[in-house]
A and B are shown apart, each in its own frame.
Chain A
Amino acid sequence: MSCGSDAVAYGVEFSGLGYSYPGSGSPALRDITLTVQRGEHVAIVGPNGAGKSTMLLHLNGILEPTTGSVTIDGVGVIKENYREIRGRVGLVFQDSDDQLFMPTLLEDVAFGPLCNGVPKDEAHDRAHQALDAVGLGHVDAHRAAHHLSGGEKRRAALATVLSMDPGVLAFDEPSSGLDGRGRRTIAELLRERHQTAIIVTHDVEFAAAVCTRIVILDGGQLVVDGLTADVLADSELLRRHGLELARWLYE
């Protein structure tokens, strides 16, 4: 398993992506075109209801586009390719309790590799390596995840996808509900990843700490795409799209 610098990284391309929820009058996503290079860390920020999480769910076919397409390193995210795509994209959901569904932590982390045909012994080793990589090597992995703290659960959720050795890591609000230390730990873990990372968040400081590029989504449309430093320097732009920096970043 590649938890370090030899990790595989895939490029991601959204081409004219549009999506409407069944029964909904207005589209949740409109004509999103975005290219993420291999190994790049990109944050998708925006106000509530902007369509950030909806966009993320298109990365591995949980939602299917109404218009346009998504490709992972040239492989289209279509039904025929789901098996391959889901091995390439590690999606971490906002609530870690949704991600940790097996009776024990070890089985949770081994679930992805086992589902993708990895033999039991190798899946077992991969699970331990992934837990070590997120600093949970000391935890009793034979117990259920409800014994973990909020920060530990978030790291365990990251381990569940690292064990699959994905080329793209996708996170939905990885810093929400964490205290300062937990937030910093997750930011450091993500910064160390050599895979491509797409991070959906409200937390602009967290995005700045992890990503070199920021994309702002508002009303289902991509409205800004720029380098982190440039986007953060424009406080009026941030405010216009319902985003704010903490005071210490202004000073």
Chain B
Amino acid sequence: MGFKHLDRHAGRHSWLSEHTTPAQRLWIAIAAAFVAGLMPSGAWRALAVLAVAVALGAWLARVPATTLLSRVALALPFFLLPALALPVTVPGAAVGELGPFTITEPGVQRALEIIVRATLAVSAVSILISVTRATDLLGAIHHLPLPHLIKQSLALGYRYLYLLTDEFERTRRALRSRAGHTSLFRAWRGRAATLSHLFVRAHARGTRVHAAMLSRGYRSEMPTLAPAARVHPIWTATIVFSLAMIWVAGYLEVRG
């Protein structure tokens, strides 16, 4: 199996895993990510409080800091690249020069804000997937008010990710065993060919899986045995309420 890291920490016992259901953890992570994303600009103290809350969550979930940092690092390019353009594109008071570009104070502030918010949101989601088995998470997602197609794609994606990575490995090995030592260009061409074969195979498998689903009575909705999400217990509501309060504090901080 070529995709082992999904459930690496999910079996580990922690306060968070023992006192919350997967559905409650999902709602908390969504709330934290939304608060980080919607925090008013310039609410640094509120962001600091949120950072403490996320760190507390990581401690309660017993997620190693290295795991958290490596996952944030994985997502870093997606928000770092757009953030780096802001110091020289946002107008405002100049704080320095970078070649032909002028670095502005509001630009630097906006870039830092994007990095901090994204780091906090990614950390909250990382904590969630670190203490929740992927299958439990899919069960929780099933009860979210999302289009059926998205939920079905996630469930099938999880099941077939393993097969696709295995098939990719086998095809790559077969290609390498015939190709010997090749130039970088040829190696990339080989990888592209492997991926295109994989796409064709994935399409063929999709057709067969659909036939298997129809054979067992599938119409348009994938039923599940997962119990409906319980989102009312007092302290889960307290956590979500506290996150909302952090946002309110940020709003009041900015309004002065």
**A191 part of interface (Cβ distance < 8 Å):** no
**Residues A93 and B212 in contact in the complex (CB < 8 Å), given A115-B218, A115-B219, A142-B135:** yes
Residues of A contacting B213 in the complex (Cβ-Cβ under 8 angstroms) = 101, 111
The answer, among B1, B139, B214, for a CB contact under 8 Å with A62, is: B214
A103 at the interface (CB under 8 A from B): yes
Assembled-state Cα–Cα distance A102/B134 (Å): 12
Return the contact of A111 from the options B134, B158, B208, B216 (Cβ within 8 A): B216
| A60/B215 in contact, CB under 8 A | yes
**Residue on B nearest A61 in the bound complex, by CB:** B214
Known: A62-B211, A95-B208. A145 touches B223 (CB 8 A): no
Q: Does A29 contact B (CB under 8 A)?
A: no
Contact A123 B138 (CB under 8 A): no
A95 to B162, CA, bound (A): 15
Minimal Cβ-Cβ distance residue in A for B215: A91
A103 B225 Cβ-Cβ under 8 A: no
Assess whether B156 is in contact with A101, with CB atoms less than 8 Å apart: yes
Chain B residues, Cβ within 8 Å of A207: none
Q: A145-B159, A146-B163 are in contact. Are A103 and B134 (CB under 8 A)?
A: yes
Number of A-B contacts defined by CB within 8 Å: 87
Chain B residue with Cβ nearest A143 = B135
A116 with B217: in contact, given A99-B212, A101-B159, A146-B163 (CB under 8 Å)? yes
Is the C-beta of A27 less than 8 angstroms from some C-beta in chain B? no
Residues of B within 8 A of A160 (CB): 216
Could you tell me the distance between the alpha carbons of A93 and B212 in the complex, rounded to whole angstroms?
7
For residue B12, CB closer than 8 A to chain A, the reply is: no
Instruction: Report A-chain residues with C-beta under 8 Å of the C-beta of B148.
Output: none
Task: Indicate whether A161 reaches chain B with its CB closer than 8 angstroms.
Answer: yes
Distance, CA A86 to CA B222, complexed state (A): 16
How far, in angstroms, from A82 to B84 measured CA to CA in the complex? 58
Q: Which residues of the other chain, A, contact B186 by a CB distance below 8 angstroms?
A: none
Q: In the bound complex, do residue A103 and residue B217 qualify as a contact, i.e. CB atoms below 8 Å apart?
A: no
| Interface hits, B166-218 → A, CB 8 Å | 205, 208-209, 211-218
> Which residues of A sit under 8 angstroms from B163, Cβ to Cβ?
97, 146
A1 within 8 A of partner (CB)? no
- Taken residue by residue from 227 to 245, chain B's Cβ proximity to chain A (1 for < 8 Å, 0 otherwise) reads as 0000000000000000000
CA distance A100 to B76 in the complex (A): 36
Q: Is the CB of A93 within 8 A of B208?
A: yes
* Assembly CA distance A124 to B156 (angstroms): 21
Instruction: Assess whether B217 is in contact with A124, with CB atoms less than 8 Å apart.
Output: no
- Cβ–Cβ contact A144 & B216, under 8 A: no
Q: Which residues of chain A from 63 to 115 have any CB-CB distance to chain B below 8 Å in the complex?
A: 83, 86-87, 89, 91, 93, 95, 97-104, 106-107, 110-112, 114-115
Partner among B1, B155, B216 whose Cβ is within 8 Å of the Cβ of A103 = B155
Determine if A110 and B225 form an interchain contact, defined as CB atoms under 8 angstroms apart.
yes
Is there contact, CB below 8 Å, between B138 and A103? yes
- Whether the Cβ atoms of B159 and A123 lie closer than 8 Å is no
Interchain CB contact under 8 A, B1 and A101? no
With beta carbons under 8 angstroms apart, the residue of A98, A103, A115, A120 that contacts B135 is A103
Any A CB within 8 A of the CB of B66: no
Chain A residue numbers with a CB within 8 Å of B153 are none
Please state if A111 and B223 are interface contacts (CB–CB under 8 Å).
yes
Q: Which residues of A contact B222 (CB under 8 A)?
A: 102, 111
Residues 143-159 of A, flagged 1 when their CB comes within 8 A of B and 0 if not, give 11110000000000000
CB <8 Å contact, B224 and A86: no
Give chain B nearest CB distance to A94 CB in angstroms: 9
A86 touches B135 (CB 8 A): no
With A111-B213, A114-B225 given, name 5 new contacts (CB 8 A): A60-B215, A86-B214, A111-B222, A112-B217, A115-B217
22 contacts between A and B (CB under 8 A): A60-B215, A62-B215, A86-B215, A86-B217, A87-B217, A93-B211, A95-B208, A97-B205, A101-B160, A101-B209, A101-B212, A101-B213, A102-B155, A103-B138, A112-B216, A114-B223, A114-B224, A114-B225, A144-B159, A144-B162, A146-B159, A164-B217
